[in-house]
Amino acid sequence: MKQLIYIFLVFTLISCDTKTDKKEIYFEDNFEGVELNQENWNYELGDGCPNLCGWGNNERQIYTKENVSLMHGNLVIKATKDSTNYYSGRITTKDKIEFQYGTVEVKAKLPQGAGLWPAIWMLGNDIDTNTWPACGEIDIMEYVGKAPHQIHTTLHTPDSYGQSKNTKISIIDTIEDGFHVYKTKWTKDTITFYIDDNLVYTFSPEIKNDKTWPFDKPFYIILNLAIGGNFGGPEVDDSIFPQEFIIDYVKVSSSD
């Protein structure tokens, strides 16, 4: 964490000294090469057991390294099925790339089919001691194959525990076609969400405290493709496999 804080301060000083209007890039991964850069990313593996079986949502997949790959300058998270199990991938920047405030931008192409649940999201880095939802959660993009054309952007806080009341569903008929850019701007006052540079949701509670605004601390990024679960399921169309969640790039920059 000391190194992460130092990197953030360096960028801050550069921004002040140069007096430029250009955004400072804190982190960027274009997924070139043949292997995931494990200086930036972690694999999360298994089914969540014994502590969080089904990853807390009754999900049906087992996460493996083999279901995460780099191909043609893209990150590919593949959902597969054999005779007994579903498999997929989940990666995070926990303890490696963590930041407080900024703009997160991800260009991605969605998989399709009932039972799939791809997501681009963030959790507070204190989750191990300040458990969900007190740690806070920022859902930049969630999509469920059972509800085509719908993108969910959501904030989870202690105030909204058990409910997605801080949320917006954006209906875009062409969202499954090709790549789209999902972006969140996070400041000390406001969190705003964009799809292809179109503003879709603004979150800024009038009263900000630990219950309504657990967002004044570093967060880390998660990319995953779940199968089934409380949100993605319960029905899974077994005829759709394999399916791929493809990410072109991830970029974190200053919000100004």
Q: Which residues are catalytic, by number?
A: 137, 142
Both tokens assigned to 161? 């525990």
User: Which is it for strands 191-195 and 74-81: parallel, antiparallel or unpaired?
Assistant: unpaired
CA dihedral 205, 210, 215, 220 (to 10 degrees): -140
How far apart (Å, rounded) are the C-alpha atoms in residues 163 and 158? 10
Tell me how far apart the terminal alpha carbons of the chain are, to the nearest angstrom. 24
